[in-house]
Amino acid sequence: MATAPVGGERAAATLDDVARQAGVSRATVSRALSGHSAVRPETRRIVQAAARQIGYVLNQTARSLATRHAGAVGVLIPEPDERVFTDPFFSRIFRGAMSAFAGTDTHVLLGITNSSTPGWGPSGQNPMDLLGSGRLDGAVIVSHHEAATSALAEVAAQPVPVVFVGDPQVPGAPFVDLRNREAARIATRRLIEGGRTRLAMVCGPADMHAARERRAGFLEELAAHGLEPVAQVVGDFTMQTGRRATADFLAGRPGIDGIFAASDLTAWGALQALSEAGLQVPEDVALVGFDDSPVAEAVTPALTTMTNPAETLARTAATMLRDLIDGRAPAHRQVLVSSDLVVRRSA
């Protein structure tokens, strides 16, 4: 236990005090409290409990100087802040990244690196300012746009480890991504197998690899069944895009009987436009979304949709980041995750 000096004030607890309390060596305490992966989870819990019992507070500055680690990683999102805080995809991403560092002493920080326009450009913060500042040991970067490809290549070449959620189209860069093209084909097949032949798609941003892959999958599946798209609109993953695009579809191309929306938020907007036009879902127009977000179950009718396991993607990426920070080679540097169809009422 820490001893009380003359005057009655209690001395600050030390690593040696924690070691005596936990019944382990000082070196084990140091490794456990610094988040070292070689420490068994049970030992880490014992050490953390002992530290709490005697009031030990880790000196983060001293730890950083001694280990040359900042004790923090970033989840960097180059999107407008209003989108980050309204799209449930990003909260799921952050939860997944945090879960990979649970039980360690590493803090997971959210960084919105652009508050006005997507991508990294003149109006966005330069990620190198964050990664080169010494404040982060590494980062998971999410939702990147084609306009930022040169910046992403520069980021990937930094000595600080970076892992991407989504294929950044940078050779050799570590990433975790969804099999977007395959998922879009499954979604489109659901509509076709339901007897729908006049199909439209509300696409995501043309400068995002994931959105292009979903559009390609839609077109491939139509072609495999001898069909052509009745309409396509390139927009973004928002409710507003879905509503506007669907209203345009209905005004200019009557007879559409199925819509594939590139996100659940987009599908929600499509539902609103269909309702305003007096059309029933799925009786008049079948609708499939993408993400299996809380929106999918909240709307009426509930959305048939493709899963987008954001927490799994982020957890996998953050686990890869942990390995890189610790000097270990990840089992795989590029990971693709499959998506499943969730059948509800809309198709």
pLDDT per position as a tens digit, 293-311: 999 999 999 999 999 999 9
In terms of CATH architecture, what is 72-178+310-339? Answer: 3-Layer(aba) Sandwich (3.40)
**Helix and strand element counts for the chain (H, E):** 14, 12
Which distant-in-sequence residues (6+ apart) come within 8 Å of 152 by Cβ?
120, 141, 144, 164, 168, 169, 170, 173
pLDDT per position as a tens digit, 239-278: 999 999 999 988 887 789 999 999 999 999 999 999 999 9
DSSP 101-156: TTTSS-EEEEEE--SSSSSSSTTS--HHHHHTTTS-S-EEEES--GGGHHHHHHHH
pLDDT per position as a tens digit, 55-100: 776 655 445 444 456 688 989 888 878 888 888 889 999 999 999 9
Tell me, yes or no, if the two domains 72-178+310-339 and 180-308 fold the same way: yes
Which distant-in-sequence residues (6+ apart) come within 8 Å of 194 by Cβ?
258, 282, 286, 347
- 60 versus 19: the higher-pLDDT residue is 19
Query: CATH for 180-308, among 3.40.50.2000, 3.20.20.70, 3.40.190.290, 3.40.50.2300?
Result: 3.40.50.2300
Quick check: 129 pLDDT over 80?
no
CATH of the domain spanning 15-58: 1.10.260.40
Parse the chain into domains and list their residue ranges. 15-58, 72-178+310-339, 180-308
Task: Out of 122-126, 167-171, 283-287, give the one with best mean pLDDT.
Answer: 283-287
**Beta strand ranges found along 16-134 (DSSP E):** 72-77, 107-112
Asked whether 272 and 287 are in contact (CB, 8 A), the reply is no
Question: What count of residues does the chain have?
Answer: 347
Output Rg (C-alpha) for the chain, integer angstroms: 25
- pLDDT for residue 267: 96
